[in-house]
Structure 1
Amino acid sequence: MTDQAETGRGGPEVSARLRLVGVLLLAAYLGLVGWVVLRPVDVGWTTPANLTPFDSVRYAFALGWPEGARQLAGGLLPLAPLGVLLPLAGGRTRARWLPSLLRTAGSTALIATALEILKSWAPGHVLNVDNLMLGTLGAGLVHLAVVPAARARAAALGRRDRTAVPAPAPSPLQTPFPSPFQNPRQNPLQAPRPLRPLETGRRGGLTGAQPLR
């Protein structure tokens, strides 16, 4: 997922430690979701598989608003944290919101599809296309609500840290050589003292320029 073009435009810049934390959190959450979704359930009967988009949601709302809200939340919430965990594990601190959203939604759709296929083989579960669609939608909504603002905040903090870095001290090798007209007792790092104008001596001769005391 790393390429030179994205690196030049501020691509993967997350520290290795933070990216490792994101990968571990993502793996732990996927393990938890897999255990909850794929565990066998003892039921007396099951509904047929649903391959019509939002058919189960319409049926739930036909039974009442509480049942419809429960069905809707049950589809949106399980995969919603992937909207943050996937970009964190990917390691991008600065990216355009639309490509980032499409990457997150596509990855979530693949994960949801795999879970639905595996769930259809577990006892007491049936395939429901609404879980796939609602899970992808939930991850996309969380991504839009959190990730762009977090990346903008991180970019602002990075710019502030760069401007707060003090200028490096001059190296001893960069110290300028003293001028031949400079007082040898004067610090070479200080500005040279101004010279007196040429004056005429008592015998009409020029005394030469001398530094002001």
Structure 2
Amino acid sequence: MQRQGFIGGSAAIRVRVAGGVLLAAHLAFVAWLMLRPLDVPWVMPANLHPFAGIRADLALGPREAAHRIGEGLALLAPLGVLLPAVHGRLRVSPLGSLVATAAAAALISLGIALLQTGVPGRVVDVDSILLNTVGVVVAHLAVVPASRALLRRRDRRERPSAVLQEDAAQGRTPTIPRVGIAP
């Protein structure tokens, strides 16, 4: 019996498992990338003022700013798709899904930033947390609602045949036409 609202079937299970594997692989890659020590002669001070780093990036010119801001947006963006895929719900509030995904991404980004405090050459940058979270939100909005709608349509097309097969396997429900309803 399929639980209401979850993706059903063996293909959907494969999607959820593949999403989980891809999520673990992506998080391992991000941890490797962001928690490696840097061999630098000096380290910039920590940035705890929101948008100060983004303003500094914009002062470097449009090309360099696009590169640096794009890196911040793209680092955790796959989580916007992978987290809902692992969860596997088709019938869920779009706003609730977006908020839960954004909150999870912000917490993961904050965890990475806090772990970076113990890594030589790395410093905390509050703008990276903001950019990472915005990247996840953009990826979620771009992919998840459309893919859920597609999966719901496919599920509706497959469900009537599954109900008919279930009825055929168990037989028809017996009815007694002359029995009244008890009070």
Same fold (TM over 0.5): yes
2:117 matched residue in structure 1 = 120
% of aligned pairs identical?
A: 44
Deviations 1:9-43 (A, max 9, x none): x2x33544332222111111100000001111111
The CA distance in 2 between the partners of 1:41 and 1:170, in whole Å, is 65
Structure 1: runs of 5 or more not aligned: 1-6, 175-213
1:68 matched residue in structure 2 = 65
Deviations 1:165-186 (A, max 9, x none): 6956989x98xxxxxxxxxxxx
Query: In the superposition, relative to structure 1, how do residues 43 and 161 fare at CA in structure 2: closer, same or farther (>3 Å)?
Result: same
Q: How many residues align?
A: 165
State TM-score, norm by structure 1: 0.71
Query: In the superposition, relative to structure 1, how do residues 41 and 158 fare at CA in structure 2: closer, same or farther (>3 Å)?
Result: same
1:94 matched residue in structure 2 = 91
Query: In the superposition, relative to structure 1, how do residues 120 and 160 fare at CA in structure 2: closer, same or farther (>3 Å)?
Result: same
Residue 18, structure 1, aligned to residue 15, structure 2: yes
Aligned partner of 2:150 among 130, 133, 153: 153
Deviations 1:89-134 (A, max 9, x none): 1121221210000000000011000000111211111100001011
1:40 matched residue in structure 2 = 37
Query: In the superposition, relative to structure 1, how do residues 16 and 162 fare at CA in structure 2: closer, same or farther (>3 Å)?
Result: closer
Higher RCO (CA < 8 A, seq sep 6+): 2
Query: In the superposition, relative to structure 1, how do residues 170 and 117 fare at CA in structure 2: closer, same or farther (>3 Å)?
Result: closer
Structure 2: runs of 5 or more not aligned: 173-183
Output the amino acid matched with 1:13: I
More helix by share: 2
The CA distance in 1 between the partners of 2:49 and 2:163, in whole Å, is 62
Output the amino acid matched with 1:123: P
Looking at CA atoms only, which structure, 1 or 2, has the larger radius of gyration? 1
The two structures, once aligned, show a CA RMSD in angstroms of: 2.2
Query: In the superposition, relative to structure 1, how do residues 165 and 52 fare at CA in structure 2: closer, same or farther (>3 Å)?
Result: same
Aligned partner of 1:49 among 39, 46, 50: 46
SS in 1 for 2:40: coil
Output the amino acid matched with 1:73: G
